Structure 1
């Protein structure tokens, strides 16, 4: 992986933003940061997301009369395995250069720890637990999902065990507490 694209992931996990765009930003603020090269989805008028390839931002609103409220963003890192660096989008490629098809979690974790940005493992729901592990960065409220085992949607030809699947923000302390205290049956 190039040092520049790795710097992108480090910045996202450390700051909880994508090129300065925060999960609660308006659609216009996200467009200003990421550009106009996206696909927009609004299936029911109360939810919307913009897909920039690697990055997706999500909003919701009570009704058409209300403004969009930012909900979260996700970096769909797994898409790079099939689509290569172009999936990252022009804005990210122009700033960070080439993106590798895979992001190794241990490398990301090690570099984050060197920066004083530790990740804490949190429990997965039973349906996901065999396939994924999730780590959380408390200060930035970012979670990192890592491949634990191959399954129906993650096969050895796309990702390896130990590759990052996606990065999401925010994951609130309340959700982490809920996951940690939950007695899965």
Structure 2
């Protein structure tokens, strides 16, 4: 392992707080390519292929993973994890939380996982902390986290079958009927409503059939229409912001490629000339708005990227490529 990486993965508290705030280790994050990670962290790693389409790389405490569908394609980043359980001296979750509180980046605790672990998250950096409930020892710190605060991190408000039946009903009716259904069924309390809409969207996303296929006797277009409607309700309820909703639209192919890419670009909250980069903007509390705008730009441009081969408008293609060139410098 190189000296620079050895220093980075020392058990000093600053290393851990920096990862929680930035979602990156030495500049390498879950969007970095294997070559970029080597350039940033050096060549002192152990690497393995876990199946034909997954790559795992380990730098002492730090693990990075990528996936691809077929050989020869570009690797797509999955996650960066700091395996804190490997430390000689345990890292206390209360100590980590207190250190983050002092510098203005508090963690939010979400529901326990039910098997003896506490879960905490920093939503803007999408970093999750998993800690042993009995000992308070941090086990892992991961970006992006698979759990989230608020309505997205809570159990479904109804049984799986009930939510599935509701979503199937929504996909089979028209827009006016859906609105009437929502007026009758939506919970009155805002937090409950957000949780309710989120559970409906998640179930709908899981049931959208592939092109040319059907689900519950309905073709893909009916499910797409219901999915777009549910994402709009999630935005209105505050469980998703515009950038998150548009990323879901791109991920599930809910709009034609040109329309989806245009939506991604329109949702970017800052221009390329003004966007914050790692070179220009420190990760401090007073710069958090600019940092999060930069993060949104990165997520949206990455969401648009896979659609480019099917985009007809050359101006859209050029704008997305310009953003993707900036991606390694974004926050």
Q: TM-score, normalised by structure 2?
A: 0.42
> 1:45, CA displacement in angstroms?
2.0
Displacement after TM superposition at 1:111 (Å): 1.3
Change in CA separation of 1:124 and 1:61 when aligned onto 2, cut-off 3 Å: farther
Query: 1:124 touches 1:179 (CA, 8 Å); kept in 2?
Result: no
- Could you tell me whether the CA contact under 8 Å between 1:138 and 1:173 is conserved in 2? no
Matches of 1:174 and 1:109 in 2, distance apart?
17
- Is 2:144 aligned against 1:170? yes
Structure 1 CA distance, aligned partners of 2:58 and 2:122? 24
Counterparts of 1:20-59 in structure 2, within 5 Å, are 20-59=27-66
- Give structure 1 stretches of 5+ with no counterpart: 82-100, 150-160
- Structure 1 Cα separation of the partners of residues 67 and 149 of structure 2: 19
Consecutive unaligned residues of structure 2, counting only runs of 5 or more, are: 1-9, 160-331
Aligned residue for 2:12, secondary structure, equals helix
- Would you say 1:123 and 2:111 are equivalent positions? yes
Preserved contact between residue 51 and residue 57 of structure 1 (Cα < 8 Å): yes
Q: Secondary structure of 2:84's partner?
A: coil
Equivalent residue in structure 2 for 1:147, among 132, 149, 168: 132
- The Cα of 1:174 is off from its aligned counterpart by 6.7
Question: SS at 1:56's partner residue?
Answer: strand
Question: Any idea what the Cα deviations from partners look like across 1:15-69, whole Å, max 9, x if unmatched?
Answer: 1110111111100111112111111111322011101120000000011021101
Query: TM-score, normalised to structure 1's length?
Result: 0.73
Contact 1:75–1:167 (8 Å) recurs in 2 = yes
Q: Which residue, 6, 9, 13 being the options, matches 2:20?
A: 13
CA RMSD of aligned residues (A): 2.4
Query: What number of residue pairs does the alignment pair up?
Result: 150
Specify whether residues 108 and 125 from structure 1 end up closer, same or farther in structure 2 by C-alpha distance, changes over 3 A only: closer
The structure-2 alpha-carbon separation of the partners of 1:173 and 1:54, relative to structure 1 and needing over 3 Å to count, comes to closer
Q: Helix, strand or coil for the counterpart of 1:50? A: strand
With over 3 angstroms needed to count, the CA separation of the structure-2 counterparts of 1:183 and 1:53, relative to structure 1, is farther
Instruction: After TM superposition, give the deviation of residue 163 of structure 1 in Å.
Output: 1.3
Change over 3 Å in CA distance of 1:69–1:176 after alignment to 2: farther
Specify the SS of the correspondent of 1:111: helix
Say whether 1:133 aligns with 2:118: yes
**Change in 2 beyond 3 A, CA 1:19/1:163:** same
